[in-house]
Structure 1
């Protein structure tokens, strides 16, 4: 009962929703960069929300299924093919023994998600199988390594079920010109009104220095009147402003402590949007009320957990 990796692509990782409760020991949570796409993939298969999946970065992925099952594909458009026939993301598909699935390079977006009915059988470490390469934790062999050619991932065989697709209204439009919602942080008042105005009125570019740890942006420099800060815990989506004034948005594999002032934090929905933006894309920021953002996130979570 195996999924065999033929070609892993540049960075294909096992992810669940993340490894929590260990940041005080310096352990990054990990988890899917695009939580919305990840959640839809499991939802299409009636899987528990936390079931492990493969996060395929940039494409060039190829695998073979050695037992019948049903799969779901969400996220970036990578010209997926099942046995050489083009298929679309945001749908589930019946799989027979010997079927092969392949992805070309990412055309729209950055990351695609592959879920299998019943979930992949991946060993956990510290309560999660999420792969964090920098921490050498999680993944198929619990050592933080990305998937390699020849790796075999087990899953429970199952009879074909009725296939589904995500309604068009819920399929996000990934783009290269995005607007991110920002919740002002506890150091927001450290930035002058002029600097805050510059931050929200400027357009930033996503640089090539982007990965699962953080997205570095380039644009109008933002200055904080106080640079001396005792290192403190860092939240997912925090927007650090280092000495050069160029924002850094911290993502799933972020360090657990940091000493740069933070002007705010982007929302969960904006995190998924940013995770699908390729280098060279442009970013704008708008202010978001904390309670409104929390209410929206609760509604989304209740939908997937129902």
Structure 2
């Protein structure tokens, strides 16, 4: 007997697809990573297209290659990396919502630029909650924390809010662009005084390339190393976005699935929204650093959050207006 709740049956999960929300909080002291969507910008837009709660769970698809068939009528939205998307073999757009009828086949091809895509379902994806979050951190090997497999069914939460039958699209100016050189804004940390002026100048005037050693845990960067970096420190708690400088003098930018403690010195922490931009870059792409004021970064983050919780779609489905 089939479930009355509509969903998507996975035909191919691609290289790796996991369920992610905004991540877990309050458990890093127990050794559990925060997890959560690595590109908060694309993730938030996928949910906004469907009027989902800000922290609704999505499928985070790495590098594309995802196929599924609708079991019942389903409203979905896709945002993130540049990949060809088709429904029943007919090309459709990304950064927009789609109505799937029962039996429709969704095909998300391999990415042309960017790394992560987010597939949202109206009402959010239903999955097990562990330690306050639906996010999956594969390396922790908690029960049921594996990537999606062929044949699994993604069900939406029931009941879900009524959805507009119109197709909604993210305005072009808000869509992610992942091909250009990325400048990462670095908030100075308390260990910055451990680095010399020459070392900090090298950090902020050099260009780095993303190495093959890059995933949800963090990105190792290649380039001209700092000389005579500070020695290791007593292991301490690490924030998402922390930039560690190990003995080889090359920075490591830590992301959502990073370890909870570490013993390398850190000149600062990357702004949260820039972490998402970094996560979308591929090996060989170029990044730079510049120091930024924490107040500017905090204000940007507040406005980002308010934009998604204090705006509503207009009747055209192509623009948002603010509400009080």
- Please tell me the TM-score bracket, short chain as reference: over 0.9
Aligned partners of 1:33 and 1:75: how far apart in 2?
Answer: 11
**Which stretch of structure 1 is more off in the superposition, 166-175 or 112-121?**
166-175
Aligned partners of 1:229 and 1:223: how far apart in 2?
Answer: 17
Q: Does structure 1 residue 191 correspond to structure 2 residue 192? A: no
The TM-score with structure 1 as length reference comes to 0.95
Q: Partner of 1:287 in structure 2?
A: 291
Q: Which of 28, 34, 37 is matched with 1:32 structurally?
A: 37
Contact 2:232/2:246, CA 8 A, preserved across alignment:
no
The one-character-per-residue Cα deviations of 1:201-257 (angstroms, maximum 9, x if unpaired) are: 001010000010010001111246531311111011100000111110000100000
Q: Partner of 1:211 in structure 2?
A: 215
Q: Does structure 1 residue 62 correspond to structure 2 residue 67? A: yes
Alignment partner of 2:169: what SS? coil
The offset of 1:263, in angstroms, is 1.1
Q: Partner of 1:102 in structure 2?
A: 107
Q: Which of 87, 93, 103 is matched with 2:98 structurally?
A: 93
Contact 2:17/2:61, CA 8 A, preserved across alignment:
yes
Contact 1:227/1:260, CA 8 A, preserved across alignment:
yes
Aligned partners of 2:123 and 2:281: how far apart in 1?
Answer: 30
Q: Which of 268, 272, 277 is matched with 1:264 structurally?
A: 268
- Which blocks of at least 5 consecutive residues in structure 2 are unaligned? 1-5, 311-324
Alignment partner of 1:262: what SS? coil
The offset of 1:33, in angstroms, is 1.0
Aligned partners of 2:137 and 2:11: how far apart in 1?
Answer: 22
The TM-score with structure 2 as length reference comes to 0.90
Alignment partner of 1:285: what SS? strand
Q: Which consecutive aligned stretches of 4+ in structure 1 deviate over 4 angstroms post-superposition? A: 156-160
Between the two proteins, the alignment pairs up a number of residues equal to: 302
Q: Partner of 1:14 in structure 2?
A: 19
- Which blocks of at least 5 consecutive residues in structure 1 are unaligned? none
Matches within 5 A, 1:149-298: 149-155=150-156, 156=158, 161-223=165-227, 226-298=230-302
Contact 1:191/1:223, CA 8 A, preserved across alignment:
no
Q: Partner of 1:145 in structure 2?
A: 146
The offset of 1:176, in angstroms, is 4.9
Contact 1:73/1:114, CA 8 A, preserved across alignment:
yes
Aligned partners of 2:215 and 2:282: how far apart in 1?
Answer: 10
Contact 1:94/1:160, CA 8 A, preserved across alignment:
no
The offset of 1:105, in angstroms, is 1.0
Contact 1:95/1:160, CA 8 A, preserved across alignment:
no
The offset of 1:161, in angstroms, is 2.5
Contact 1:224/1:261, CA 8 A, preserved across alignment:
no
Contact 1:214/1:249, CA 8 A, preserved across alignment:
yes
RMSD: 1.4
Alignment partner of 2:145: what SS? coil
**Which stretch of structure 1 is more off in the superposition, 220-229 or 175-184?**
220-229
Aligned partners of 2:68 and 2:174: how far apart in 1?
Answer: 28
Aligned partners of 1:98 and 1:67: how far apart in 2?
Answer: 7
